């Protein structure tokens, strides 16, 4: 059976004030009426229906995510006591799936990505599943880069070593590069963006964890022996695990890793400037979501559903007006929204976090 494992523990602060501690990016409906996680669940449902879906998230978020996905059952949620990056939570999901379906396959998907074309997306996942079935590869989805992005990790592949399924052999994984390196990656032609999606058999990923991360494997085995009421022990064991990504902890060290090139449009929208970039604009380059008053305003993004905004003589601004807080940010400083959130954390402005 195919199991969708949705990684939904993210705490991104770069979409403040729309995103909050209890409403991170994956729960926002930045585009359209559904939230990113609702879209993610819906998009994968033809391959893995809700009963074969496992949402991995944190205690802080599980209740509100469940409210957005009322069709799911408690059994569809796997709750981390604390966040420990992707390797431990993928290990936890694999351990749970091993109990119920040891011959199963996992499709690991981040909950907060933007993918508009469903059919080519499902086709790529099917190709990745074929690859994993054929030779038990660890398979990833790679995105053809369009610019020297420094916000994503990269995957180098062998253009000449193609598997029967159409997937390519992977040479290596690279962390988020600096700009010069990103330019070199783009020019080389054999680097793809790392989408953070993984496809593999439950048995294979657990074997890789056992060999590459024996401490994590040991902790998972201890957790497996706990009773359901041993919450405190679970918390202690999980908290003791080293925080590490699956890319770094497993993929970089594993052999027989393959990548399927995505044939669908994809973005890991990282901040408001990217939302602006992806939105339809008027003649002056403005994204005016609620019919606000613009006088000599250019290249601005305005989202203020409950209060009229008038922009006069400004440009390149992002304006996000929510019930209790207003962000006014230069588009070139969209990454610095997290600095405002950090300031509020330092000053105990909890009601705005």
Shortest distance in whole angstroms from residue 340 CB to a second copy: 4
> CB-wise, 63 or 330, nearer to a second copy?
330
Q: If phi over 0 gives left and psi between -120 and 50 gives alpha, with beta otherwise, what is residue 305? A: alpha
CB of 258 to a second copy, least distance (A): 41
Q: How far is the CB of 182 from a second copy (least distance, A)?
A: 22
Cβ proximity of 39 and 60 under 8 Å: no
* Nearest alpha-carbon partner for 295 in 279, 306, 309, 281: 309
Q: How far apart (Å, rounded) are the C-alpha atoms in residues 191 and 352?
A: 40
C-alpha count within 13 angstroms, C-beta hemisphere, residue 237:
21
Nearer to a second copy, 74 or 295 (CB): 295
- Closest approach, Cβ 337 to a second copy, in A, equals 6
Q: Which residue lies nearer to a second copy by CB, 15 or 200?
A: 15
How near is the Cβ of 351 to a second copy at its closest, in Å? 9
Quick one: 225 or 347, whose CB is closer to a second copy? 347
Taking the least distance from each CB to a second copy, the nearer of 223 and 294 is 294
Closest distance of CB 2 from a second copy, Å: 42
| Sign of the torsion angle spanned by Cα atoms 177, 173, 205, 242 | negative
Of 23, 3, 1, 2, nearest to 12 by C-alpha is 23
Query: How far is the CA of 190 from the CAs of 7, 14, 109, 161, 228, in angstroms?
Result: 28, 31, 23, 12, 47
Q: What SS3 class is residue 260?
A: strand
- CB 142, CB 155: distance < 8 Å: yes
Cβ distance to a second copy smaller for residue 99 or 332 = 332
Tell me how far, at minimum, the Cβ of 174 lies from a second copy, in Å. 29
- Smallest gap from Cβ 151 to a second copy, in A, equals 17
Q: Return the closest-CA partner of residue 97 out of 165, 19, 2, 7.
A: 2
What length is written for the chain?
353
For 87, the token pair is 């390797």
Residue 294 · residue 304 · CB < 8 Å: no
Indicate the pairing of strand 154-162 with strand 191-201. antiparallel
Nearest-angstrom CA–CA distance, 137 and 258: 6
- Rounded least distance, CB 284 to a second copy, Å: 14
Cβ atoms of 207 and 91 closer than 8 Å: no
> Beta strand 287-288 with 257-261: parallel, antiparallel or unpaired?
unpaired
Which one, 56 or 294, has the nearer CB to a second copy?
294
CB-wise, 188 or 343, nearer to a second copy? 343
Instruction: Give contact residues for a second copy (rule: CB under 8 A).
Output: 16-17, 293, 295-296, 304, 307-314, 317, 319, 321, 324-330, 332-334, 336-337, 339-340, 343-344, 349, 352
Which residue has 């990833």 as its token pair? 140
Name the residue nearer to a second copy (CB basis): 217 or 272: 272
């Amino acid at each position: 059976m195919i199991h969708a494992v949705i990684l939904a523990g993210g705490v991104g602060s770069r979409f403040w004030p729309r995103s909050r501690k209890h409403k991170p990016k994956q729960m926002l409906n930045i585009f359209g009426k559904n939230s990113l996680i609702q879209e993610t669940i819906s998009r994968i449902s033809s391959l893995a229906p809700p009963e074969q879906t496992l949402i991995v998230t944190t205690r802080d978020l599980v209740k509100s995510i469940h409210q957005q996905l009322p069709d799911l059952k408690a059994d569809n949620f796997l709750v981390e006591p604390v966040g420990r990056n992707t390797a431990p939570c993928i290990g936890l999901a694999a351990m749970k799936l091993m109990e119920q379906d040891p011959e199963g396959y996992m499709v690991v998907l981040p909950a907060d990505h933007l993918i508009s074309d469903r059919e080519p997306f499902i086709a790529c996942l099917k190709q990745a599943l074929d690859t994993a079935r054929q030779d038990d590869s660890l398979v990833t989805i790679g995105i053809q880069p369009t610019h020297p992005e420094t916000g994503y990790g990269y995957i180098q592949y062998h253009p000449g070593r193609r598997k029967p399924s159409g997937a390519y052999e992977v040479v290596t994984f690279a962390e988020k590069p600096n700009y010069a390196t990103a330019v070199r990656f783009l020019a080389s032609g054999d680097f793809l963006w790392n989408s953070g999606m993984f496809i593999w058999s439950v048995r294979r990923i657990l074997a890789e964890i056992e060999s590459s991360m024996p401490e994590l494997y040991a902790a998972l085995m201890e957790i497996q022996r706990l009773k359901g009421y041993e919450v405190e022990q679970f918390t202690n064991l999980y908290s003791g695990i080293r925080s590490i990504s699956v890319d770094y902890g497993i993929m970089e060290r594993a052999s027989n890793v393959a990548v399927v090139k995505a044939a669908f449009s994809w973005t890991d929208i990282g901040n408001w400037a990217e939302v602006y970039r992806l939105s339809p604009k008027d003649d002056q380059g403005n994204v005016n979501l609620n019919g606000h008053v613009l006088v000599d305003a250019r290249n601005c993004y305005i989202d203020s559903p409950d209060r009229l905004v008038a922009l006069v003589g400004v440009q390149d601004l992002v304006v996000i007006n929510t019930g209790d807080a207003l962000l006014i940010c230069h588009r070139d400083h969209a990454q610095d929204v997290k600095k405002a959130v950090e300031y509020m954390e330092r000053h105990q402005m909890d009601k705005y976090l």
